[in-house]
Structure 1
């Protein structure tokens, strides 16, 4: 269970966090990847990434609604 960490493993960078947040929006994640993310992601990065993802999602929805109403 408690395996020693490799030197290359450490805290994930922000782009890896954004990738994990992106996949979580779809609910698609392998168990192995989920466990890796849970061990390596910075919680602050996850919160910031989720807020960015929500802002992008809302922006896309507003754009689609405006395009639909304009026609």
Structure 2
């Protein structure tokens, strides 16, 4: 059975999502960034559709705590 992937957060830029992905990975949470800008042809789609940070469902609560800044030992 595969792990279910869920959205932990949505952001307006790939840079912000990539930075937060690094924070989650430093805390031991595997994360991926999903965005659609038509292969770079329409970067404004990120503003409309958002850039999503996804994690495994089992990591969702801890990821959201870290992303919200309430994760205790995680980076601020």
TM-based fold match above 0.5: no
Larger-Rg structure: 1
TM-score (norm 1): 0.25
TM-score (norm 2): 0.24
Q: Larger helix proportion, structure 1 or 2? A: 1
